[in-house]
Structure 1
Amino acid sequence: MSKLLGLAVMASYPLLVYLGLAHAEPRALALLLLALGLARYLTARSQAALGMALAGLVLAALTAWSNQLLPLKLYPVAMNAALLLVFAGSLFKGPPVVERIARLREPELDARGQHYTRRVTQVWCLFFIGNGSLALVTALWADERTWALYNGLIAYVLMATLMGGEWLVRRRWRAAAP
């Protein structure tokens, strides 16, 4: 249950920041996010989750110290960078992330499947580069409403579109299997 709550808070982060700004200055909002980030850090079970929680803590601390909004707006950039590091790192020190996920369902993945999952991991790396770049653009040059719209809705729609598209491609790929 706490894991689900943590994911819900992470997913709604841009909306929480946007709505919170209507009632509080960045410093007060950052103190609340510091508490949430600390809870996430203490319950993290993987190196990647620890790194993401630590990035959130650092950005919230910078906001609390400076009372500037920019560090809070950089959180989606940091999350995309962290996921890019995890996915790209798995291409060099494998197996690739998508292969690990595929093996949960199909432990005896053949060479064709390994090649496919490697390619999908590369596609996700490109997604994180593009999405992180757009998150950075919105953090630096867009107003808070545009930032929240992109990072709190559009980015998730793009992610769901990529997941759905990959699912469709995988179905055709499997049907074409010898």
Structure 2
Amino acid sequence: MWNNSSATPDVPAIPFIPILTGLMLLAWPFLIGYGLASHNLQWILPLMVLVLLLRVWQVRQHSGPLRYVILSVALTGVVLCVASALLHAHQWVLFYPVVVNLVMLVVFGCSLWTTMPMVERLARIREPNLSPAGVRYTRKVTKVWCGFFIGNGAVALFTVLYADMRLWTLWNGIIAYILMGTLMACEWLVRQRVIKHDV
């Protein structure tokens, strides 16, 4: 913080932007489903592009293991929205959940061939001095997440090809999040046991 009153003050953080973009992206399946059902997708697509660009702007202000992943996913979402609008082929936006899973699979999967898998990188943010047991555990968890992205992405692709909007919205807007939350909760419980035995 500058003490000189003539200096330009720091720009205050805008906490509602991350919350807004996060909620809008979580609501993506419902917004797209509503837009297709009501034939109002031409008004929703520009809104989604704005949200995704805000996401890009927000992520560029920070650093972290998932920074480029989020940037790639957001920019891909922009491309899908623009393609749907320009080509008048609104089914392109339905591939967004598939792309998200594919990008996450590539990032997590490729990290297994490096000295530090993605889950280990995320774990070291809070625990820099990770034990050997913790390192082995994070590698296993990275593989589990790869399996999840393969399964979830495959079902998401099926819902697109099956062309049933109710099924697409149900899976990508509800079931996929429930499964992801369940996996995260189970992983947290197992992690506590690993930490307890490692102490």
Residue 94 of structure 1 and its aligned partner are, at CA, apart by: 4.3
- Other-structure match for 2:165: 144
Q: Deviations over 1:150-174 (max 9, x none)?
A: 0000000000111111122222333
- Other-structure match for 1:87: 108
- Other-structure match for 2:32: 17
The structure, 1 or 2, with the larger RCO (C-alpha pairs under 8 Å, 6+ apart) is 1
Task: Name which of structure 1's ranges 110-119 and 34-43 shifts more when overlaid on structure 2.
Answer: 34-43
Residue 127 of structure 1 and its aligned partner are, at CA, apart by: 0.5
What is the 5 A alignment of 1:64-75?
64-75=85-96
* Contact 2:21–2:52 (8 Å) recurs in 1: no
Greater helix proportion: 1
- Other-structure match for 1:30: 45
CA RMSD of aligned residues (A): 1.8
Amino acid at match of 1:171: Q
Unaligned runs of 5+ in 2: 1-14, 61-66
**How many residues end up aligned between the 2 structures?**
178
> Take 2:80 and 2:89, find their aligned partners in 1: how far apart are those partners?
10
What is the 5 A alignment of 1:97-136?
97-136=118-157
* Contact 2:102–2:153 (8 Å) recurs in 1: yes
Residue 36 of structure 1 and its aligned partner are, at CA, apart by: 2.3
- Other-structure match for 2:75: 54
> Take 1:105 and 1:36, find their aligned partners in 2: how far apart are those partners?
29
Percent identity over paired residues: 43
Unaligned runs of 5+ in 1: none
- Other-structure match for 1:76: 97
Residue 44 of structure 1 and its aligned partner are, at CA, apart by: 2.8
Residue 115 of structure 1 and its aligned partner are, at CA, apart by: 0.7
Residue 142 of structure 1 and its aligned partner are, at CA, apart by: 3.9
Task: Name which of structure 1's ranges 62-71 and 16-25 shifts more when overlaid on structure 2.
Answer: 16-25
- Other-structure match for 2:189: 168
> Take 1:94 and 1:28, find their aligned partners in 2: how far apart are those partners?
46
Residue 34 of structure 1 and its aligned partner are, at CA, apart by: 2.2
Q: Deviations over 1:97-156 (max 9, x none)?
A: 211222222221111110100110111011111101111101111411110110000000
> Take 1:41 and 1:172, find their aligned partners in 2: how far apart are those partners?
37
* Contact 1:77–1:136 (8 Å) recurs in 2: yes
Residue 28 of structure 1 and its aligned partner are, at CA, apart by: 3.5
Residue 87 of structure 1 and its aligned partner are, at CA, apart by: 1.3
